Amino acid sequence: MTVSGLAVFEVQKIGKETRIGKIGLSIAEIKEEASPLQVQIRKFVKTMAIIGVVYFVLVCIFNYYHTHNIMDSLLNGLTLAMSILPEEIPVAFTTFMALGSWKLMREGIIVKRSSIVETLGSTTVICTDKTGTITENTMQLKYLYDYQLDTVFEESNFDNGRLSTLINYAMWSSEPLPFDPMEITLHKVYEQTQRDDQRTLYHMVNEYPLEGKPPMMTHVFENEQKQRIIAAKGAPEAIVNVSNLSTDDKTKIRTIIKELGEQGFRILGVAQCDFKGDSFPAKQQDLNFEFLGLTVFYDPPKKGIRDVFQHIYDAGIKVKVITGDNTDTTKSIASQSGIIHSEQAVDGKEIMAYSEKELSQVVEDKVLFTRMFPEAKLAVVNALKGQGEVVAMLGDGVNDGPALKAANIGVAMGTKGTEIAKAAASLVITNDDLDKLIIGIASGRRIYDNVKKAVQYIISIHIPIILTVSLPLFLGWIYPQIFTPVHVIFLELIMGPTCSIVYENEPMEKNTMQQKPRRMTDTFLNWRELAGSIIQGLAITIGVLFVYQYTVHNGGNEEQTRAMVFSTLIFANILLSLVNRSFYYSVIQSFKNKNILFVYAISITIILLFAILYIKPLADFFQLTLLSIEQLAMSLLIAAISVLWFEIYKWRKRIRKV
């Protein structure tokens, strides 16, 4: 999409045969991958669904064998199957991602795929461009080097007449209607220093676009008298290579380029040509150029960028700089910006020459990648992914499209980013502020931790429901149908909002951004965490079944026993949701993390419980009877004992600082 500029063109190829078309094909061929958490949750839910179906069949057969009542058998089987299916997990995951995306949007980060929010928290490498991302992209013209005078001039001396030719050709080699910051600056310097503005007298008759490795461009202008101006500019190495210079002169100029580059300046070479023929060569490199000099720009690092990179390093994330600029300039800017291990660099041509094994080692060791082009950027991203890294790629240009699409997290710049970059990326930072990516990573880590809390809560509370439904039936207890589908549905209605909305609103725990990112291969629940959830669930089961036998032993009928068991499970559910707010800090410390949704969820649950127990029509519907204060206190005490023991485990964990 062209939004500004000037062009004279001849259509030679269309669609997928064009360069942009080929980039589009490259992007289309890169498949979007489901996040590991999505895959793991999908696998877990499918497994539980299969178990649910198997249990449904077994319970139906077992019950029918003893009762020969098909309806009771189907009802028992359905109740157990409902208690096994963890339908809250996919609901929680979708809700977490959607709400996370919404919160990031308020911070100026547009998320195009909600599932990418979780992947953000796993970021291990950030590949960033230099210009406009690390730097301000202001492009102040600081120096001019005139080859004929062999002198470097400061900006205070630009208007001295001797630099007229260099300034003229630097401007003519730019677009007539400039939009690039450097070209805008060159036009302004031309206006300020040249008394005779001839821009309206000439029109462009031929243009060699920016191309080559390193790149250069050439413009051909003519006036009514057929007088020509042929001006070229580009990477200084490219201009030196095509200019008619001796070996000694080339060495001298390269020394100057290196000295200026080491100070963090961005340098362009400028040349002119006196081609008289009517048939221009196919390639601009075939023209006979005369070297005029260098334009030296300074694009300073953004304010506060050192703090941004320090936050990135504190979070255990590596940084790679991938830029089209030269090595010396990139090294200087990287050093000024606080990027570590930036002493050595590798360029795009070298990248493409390496074998797969060599490239894997290079991308691990090197931090700076200079003079990069689309294929080289894509190769670096794929090599990093091949090592198991979770790559966030920042880019804004058309050439960044394939790398943005291939990266685990493609991040486009909203202000100066091209439409292709935005289309290929999974995130768009609206104000081009790298610090926003840190906010996104923190949000991803918070969401991942909260998803784990929600899943562990779901597993823990499902175990007592499953066993309370099944054990009285299998063990032949006096009231085998202590829970019916109605009770299970009610418990699911409590668990659903708790795990999908309340836990999502949990703030990030202390020191989360000082920890290393998790590996993509890590499961969302390791065996230790899963064992902890199972033990929590079994402890609640013991408490609930103890209440069952205690009530029966004291002469309670089926309605009273059901009321005691139901109340104990509800109280345990409330306490478990509070205890699982953190698996390290105590429940009292967790109250310091303000989450008003917990207050609402717990209040509504308690009100509903009391309504079911003490409003006659509701009690009859749930087949319960009212409980005395002593009985209710007994339920609460047993629930507290069966849940709060976990606080001792967390206390020991804090003592050992595990």
The whole-number average pLDDT for the span 518-536 is 77
Angle at 424 between CA 423 and CA 426, to 5 degrees: 95
Number of Cβ within a 10 Å radius of residue 605: 19
The confidence band for 11, taking pLDDT boundaries of 50, 70 and 90, is confident
pLDDT at 546 over 90: yes
Cα→Cα distances 56→51, 208, 537, Å: 8, 73, 21
CA dist 109 and 263 (Å) reads 34
Among residues of the chain, what percentage have pLDDT more than 90?
Answer: 42
Task: Return the DSSP state at 483.
Answer: S
Number of Cβ within a 10 Å radius of residue 599: 11
Task: Say what the pLDDT of residue 307 is.
Answer: 92
Q: Which residue has the higher pLDDT, 383 or 452?
A: 383
pLDDT at 54 over 90: no
The whole-number average pLDDT for the span 324-351 is 90
Task: Say what the pLDDT of residue 43 is.
Answer: 79
pLDDT at 449 over 60: yes
pLDDT at 27 over 70: no
pLDDT at 278 over 80: yes
The whole-number average pLDDT for the span 576-588 is 90
CA dist 315 and 223 (Å) reads 59
Task: Say what the pLDDT of residue 415 is.
Answer: 79
Task: Say what the pLDDT of residue 524 is.
Answer: 61
- For residue 407, the SS3 value is coil
The whole-number average pLDDT for the span 203-216 is 90
The whole-number average pLDDT for the span 169-188 is 92
Task: Say what the pLDDT of residue 421 is.
Answer: 82
Please report, in angstroms and rounded to a whole number, the separation of the first and last CA atoms in the chain: 54
Kindly provide the residue ranges of all beta strands, DSSP E only, lying in 363-419, ordered along the sequence. Answer: 368-370, 391-395, 409-413
Residue with tokens 């991602």: 97
pLDDT at 523 over 70: no
Task: Say what the pLDDT of residue 359 is.
Answer: 93
Kindly provide the residue ranges of all beta strands, DSSP E only, lying in 100-139, ordered along the sequence. Answer: 109-111, 125-128
Q: Which residue has the higher pLDDT, 298 or 399?
A: 298
Contacts of 90 (CB under 8 A, 6+ apart): 41, 42, 45
Task: Say what the pLDDT of residue 391 is.
Answer: 92
Q: Lowest-confidence range among 171-180, 207-216, 494-503, 549-558?
A: 494-503
Task: Say what the pLDDT of residue 37 is.
Answer: 67
For the CA atoms of 6, 10, 11, 13, the dihedral, rounded to the nearest 10 degrees, stands at: -110
The whole-number average pLDDT for the span 589-610 is 88
Averaged pLDDT score across all residues of the chain? 87
Burial label for 301, CB within 10 Å (0-12, 13-18, 19+), is buried
Residue with tokens 């700089």: 321
| DSSP H/E element including 173 | none
The whole-number average pLDDT for the span 370-390 is 90
pLDDT at 541 over 90: yes
Cα→Cα distances 427→1, 117, 197, 293, Å: 20, 9, 44, 41
Beta strands at 318-322 and 289-298: parallel, antiparallel or unpaired: unpaired
Q: Which residue has the higher pLDDT, 81 or 620?
A: 620
Q: State the fold for domain 83-103+439-656.
A: Calcium-transporting ATPase, transmembrane domain (1.20.1110)
Task: Say what the pLDDT of residue 369 is.
Answer: 94
The rounded Cα 147 to chain-centroid distance in angstroms is 47
pLDDT at 658 over 60: no
Q: Which residue has the higher pLDDT, 513 or 557?
A: 557
Q: Where are the domains of the chain?
A: 15-30+121-135+302-430, 83-103+439-656, 140-298
- Was domain 15-30+121-135+302-430 assigned CATH 3.40.50.1000? yes
Task: Say what the pLDDT of residue 169 is.
Answer: 96
Q: What is the pTM of this model?
A: 0.74
The whole-number average pLDDT for the span 49-60 is 78
* Closest by CA position to 38, among listed 46, 30, 48: 46
The confidence band for 65, taking pLDDT boundaries of 50, 70 and 90, is confident
Task: Say what the pLDDT of residue 520 is.
Answer: 63
pLDDT at 139 over 90: no
For the CA atoms of 534, 535, 540, 543, the dihedral, rounded to the nearest 10 degrees, stands at: 140
The confidence band for 172, taking pLDDT boundaries of 50, 70 and 90, is very high
Highest mean pLDDT among 65-79, 117-131, 163-177, 514-528: 163-177
Number of Cβ within a 10 Å radius of residue 620: 11
Cα→Cα distances 643→386, 455, 462, 635, 636, Å: 44, 17, 14, 12, 11
The whole-number average pLDDT for the span 455-477 is 85
- Was domain 140-298 assigned CATH 3.40.1110.10? yes
